[in-house]
Structure 1
Amino acid sequence: MNANNEKAASGMTGFTIVWAGQLISVLASSMTQFALTIWAYQETGSATALGIISTAFTIPFVFFAPVAGVLVDRHNRKLMMMISDLAAILATGGILTLHLLGMLEIWHLYAAAFVNGLGNTFQWPAYSAAISTMIPKEQYSRADGMMSLVESVPAVLAPLLAGILMPIIQLTGILTIDVVTFFLAVLSLSIVFIPQPEKTVEGQAGKGGMLQEALYGFKYIFARRGLLGLLLFFVTLN
């Protein structure tokens, strides 16, 4: 560990900082999703656009999840999480800019949903994998409970908060909050130390090429109809 890493927050403290940044960011993103859903329906008067947005968000997971797993295993997890957040900043910031200019169209939401979905596909595996290297095993159950809050709290609070704030600050305000919280999430990552797993001779010898490992992930899923059906069910549900 170098001097910079010694100064960075680590252990359960570091995890809590990252967790807080992600919780706030996911809450704001869920508010944005709710607000954009309202905007899209008002613009089109059809639920079809909402389905396309959801599909655009889910597609990256279906096609890139095995690749994401390989990259997370091979590269810096903290950096991958930061890049994913920065991609989300660009997507949401682009929507905000277009809205301010009066140029926002429904297809822009499809593109932004795809970018955000792609970022999520890489971020959550990196986030989950980072936990095992940040905290001791006796804290795993506590961390799992905290992680579940990142999913459940926004699901409950985001529609309520968005419904309250939309008449006051409009879509522009909610998008701005989302962009700011993404920066806070990146900041929280920048001040913590996330160890990389130690490389072993056995582990390096067992690794194949990146493409080979990614293809193995696809083959594993498609060779098991039950698992494939479950995946397609959740994709459809989303």
Structure 2
Amino acid sequence: MSAVKNTWKRNFGIIWAGQFMSLISSSLVNFAIIIWLSVETGSAEVLAYAAIAALLPQSIIGLFSGVFVDRWDRRKTMILSDAFIACCTLIIALLFHYGNAALWLVYTLLAFRSAGSAFHMPAMQAAIPMLAPKSELLRVAGINQIIQSVSNIAGPALGALAIGLMDIAFVMYIDIIGAVFAIVSLLLVQVPHPKQTDSTTIETRQLVVDMLMGLRAITSDKGISLLFLFSILATICIMPIAVLFPLMTLEHYNGEPFHMSVVEASWGVGMLIGGGILGILKLKTNKVTLINYTYVLMGFAFAISGLLPSWAFWIFVLLTTLSGVAGSVYNACFTAIIQENIDPLLLGRVFAMFFSISLLPSLVGLLGTGFLADTVGINITFIILGAAIILIGIFSFFCKVMLPLGYQNNLPASDS
């Protein structure tokens, strides 16, 4: 038993070491692109278009990518996805290097990177329950939040430093190096795959059938359906705020790229705190109740941020840290609930489908939000969306049917 226990921890350590290098390099490069777009254009709509390009393909492809993820070898899927994303990044770097980085070309390459991520994210989430014992899933999710938050802390600071020291083309190469680390780490471990009774090749009819199976796994349980509904509504409001953070810092708080990196890092610090709490402590509070509280806390932090005067930048940083704590706890609890209550054979398509269903309306809303922010002001946009998130959290407390999901479910553990 001890050997098995140490084996899964060793595998996680190797995979997460590679993922950490990939995450921190991606965070660095993403923030460098945000700085470049913000300084070059100063437009909320341009940032909204970039976000749509980076997420729309992932959300559309995600409607059916999970079907393939559940049939394919999940380790190979992650490796090939990382390699494809690295190739797209290389092309963007070359465009910057030779001075051909028109906005529409940047949007196009961001879209291709997004397509690769449509397979990587659900494959990673679906692989976790095949490696870790069910009793450790919430703690693993917390540790995952720690790794992501450290990346979010260091990435913006390093991105601001890098773009100040070198041309953005050379900054892009850093992401490729991170992808190499991720691929090598995956080559060093084996990821168990659930036994399949069907062929790995899929006909159109079977693709539809498998997608419907994933959808049925969500809709057949009223509690899970409501959990998804509230999370989707919250994401519709949170997504525009996440995109507008840089311009909020530049325009409302009269900041500079350094201040942008401080705000992004403070979100990461909050995620680190939230992930640390979940990774170190075994909280006995119902996970659904925790999620409901995080909605209210995030909405409060966003709304107050919009009400603050322009001189209150450091209070804005503190509120951003608070929202990062809430976001970390939400992500970990939501992921653990799905992993505990959904059959491992269906996890890939369920995670991919949720990501798509939640992002598609959010991306449509981004267009209107970009126009709204440019028209009435970014701070007013923060107030409106923050208030909406608070209302979502309040309503979610009245749906008692979700509460049983918050206790560890007794689905059969995998053979791994």
TM over 0.5: yes
Q: Which moved more, 1:180-189 or 1:156-165?
A: 156-165
Paired with 2:164 and 2:45, the residues of 1 have a C-alpha distance of 25
Paired with 2:241 and 2:74, the residues of 1 have a C-alpha distance of 29
Residue 54, structure 1, aligned to residue 51, structure 2: yes
TM-score, L = length of structure 1: 0.81
What are the residue-to-residue correspondences of 1:55-74 with 2, within 5 Å? Answer: 55-74=52-71
Paired with 2:84 and 2:101, the residues of 1 have a C-alpha distance of 19
Residue 133, structure 1, aligned to residue 130, structure 2: yes
Paired with 2:215 and 2:47, the residues of 1 have a C-alpha distance of 28
Residue 157, structure 1, aligned to residue 154, structure 2: yes
Equivalent in the alignment of 2:331: none
Gapped regions of structure 1 (runs ≥ 5): 1-8, 202-207
Report SS of the residue matched to 1:209. Answer: helix
RMSD: 2.8
Report SS of the residue matched to 2:90. Answer: helix
Equivalent in the alignment of 1:171: 168
> Quick check: which has more Rg, 1 or 2?
2
Higher RCO structure (Cα 8 Å, ≥6 apart): 1
Equivalent in the alignment of 2:79: 82
Gapped regions of structure 2 (runs ≥ 5): 1-5, 199-204, 220-224, 243-416
Q: CA deviation at 1:46?
A: 2.5
> Is the Cα contact below 8 Å between 1:95 and 1:104 reproduced in 2?
yes
Equivalent in the alignment of 1:20: 17
The amino acid across from 1:145 in the alignment is G
> Is the Cα contact below 8 Å between 2:88 and 2:113 reproduced in 1?
yes
Aligned identity (percent) is 28
Q: CA deviation at 1:180?
A: 0.7
Using a 3 Å threshold, how does the CA distance of structure 1 residues 167 and 232 change in structure 2: closer, same or farther? closer
Q: CA deviation at 1:151?
A: 2.7
Equivalent in the alignment of 1:195: 192
> Is the Cα contact below 8 Å between 1:10 and 1:134 reproduced in 2?
no
Paired with 2:45 and 2:147, the residues of 1 have a C-alpha distance of 28
Alignment: residue pair count: 223
Residue 103, structure 1, aligned to residue 100, structure 2: yes
Partner deviation per Cα, 1:95-133 (whole Å, 9 max, x = no partner): 111111121111122112212222222111111111111
Paired with 1:32 and 1:160, the residues of 2 have a C-alpha distance of 11
Q: CA deviation at 1:47?
A: 2.9
Q: CA deviation at 1:52?
A: 0.4
Equivalent in the alignment of 1:205: none
Q: CA deviation at 1:87?
A: 1.5
The amino acid across from 1:27 in the alignment is I
TM-score, L = length of structure 2: 0.49
